[in-house]
Amino acid sequence: MRVYLQGGLGNQLFQLAAGLAVTERLQVNLVLDCSRLGNPETALRKFALGPYKLPARVHVDLKPSRYSIFMNKRQVNRLRNIWRNRHLVETEGKFDTKFLRVRPGSTLDGYFQSSLYFQNVKDEILGILESCDLGDEKQVVKRLNSEPFSAVHIRRGDYTDPLIAKVHGLAGPGYFKRAVELIAKDKGNTRFLYFSDSPELVQHELDLTPEDFVPNSLSEVATLWLMSRGNNVVASNSSFSWWAGFICTNRVNGKVVVPEPWFRDSTPDDLVPTSWIRLAK
């Protein structure tokens, strides 16, 4: 079995989870194909799962050949999907029932952003997420996690690019203010920790101070781990936020608030768990 990795850490976790679900069902090994990520030394998106302890049945193909890179381009993939019924291209933006009929030797190609894809390995995925090696950041994370808190993830960065915003939309300051008020009203005097790739911009938007923010110098893995320690999560419309909410829900049954719609104009049917709270973004 092979699955293509693409996107950042949040997307790669979805792809890993889908691949593990199939390999568990079929009792085969899994190859994480990094050809979509480009040159591991120069590409914008890199293999992000290294700090996690992956199962023995997982092999990482970090440096695929030029032939492999060509054969794994999207246009070629679609031709292969016509010629062979062993290449699943996710196109529906929701849980694809063809996923349940994948056979040994197949390739998974998509984002697979739904917990429905990995229900049979949910505990294994949660264990992998707990297994991350925080390295030198362990003490910083431990200090920030010394008291209970609710996590607020505010993604700006590339989402402020007009071309990207046309697809994803941007959760505005009003959404975050309402979400924080909702949790504070329900949970009482809770401490809020803010996570953002653009802290100075967000400070201005929400009238916050630098002390309200987690250092954005933390690695992706350490940031996600710390965010998921929150007793509640206010999410951006980001797969990174999704995983923090998913861990929180399964760890302490906390409240998770997400923006509606998730993308600019819509929310995929099976993306947001029914227990999560949706607020207009």
- Looking at per-residue pLDDT, the higher value among 194 and 34 belongs to 194
pLDDT of residue 65: 57
pLDDT at 77 over 90: no
pLDDT at 72 over 60: no
pLDDT at 42 over 60: no
Mean pLDDT computed over 120-128: 98
Mean pLDDT computed over 79-97: 73
pLDDT at 44 over 60: yes
State CA 127 to chain mean position distance.
16
Mean pLDDT computed over 199-218: 95
Read off the pLDDT band of 155 (50, 70, 90). very high
Residue 30 · residue 59 · CB < 8 Å: yes
The C-alpha atoms of residue 62 and residue 72 are separated, in whole angstroms, by 14
What is the pLDDT of the chain when averaged over all its residues? 90
The C-alpha atoms of residue 220 and residue 152 are separated, in whole angstroms, by 15
Provide the 8-state DSSP code for 210. Answer: G
The C-alpha atoms of residue 203 and residue 58 are separated, in whole angstroms, by 42
Q: Is the pTM of this model over 0.95?
A: no
- Looking at per-residue pLDDT, the higher value among 105 and 233 belongs to 233
DSSP character string of 71-125: HTSHHHHHHHHHH-TTEEE--SSS--GGGGG--TT-EEES---SGGGGGGGHHHH
Q: What percent of the chain has pLDDT over 70?
A: 89
Radius of gyration from C-alpha coordinates of the chain: 19
Q: Name which of 269, 265, 268 is nearest 280 in CA terms.
A: 265
Mean pLDDT computed over 159-172: 91
Q: Which of 75-84, 88-97, 153-162 shows the lowest mean pLDDT across its residues?
A: 75-84
Q: In this structure, what are the phi and psi dihedrals at residue 92, rounded to the nearest 5 degrees? A: -90, -15
Provide the 8-state DSSP code for 233. Answer: E
pLDDT at 67 over 70: no
pLDDT at 64 over 80: no
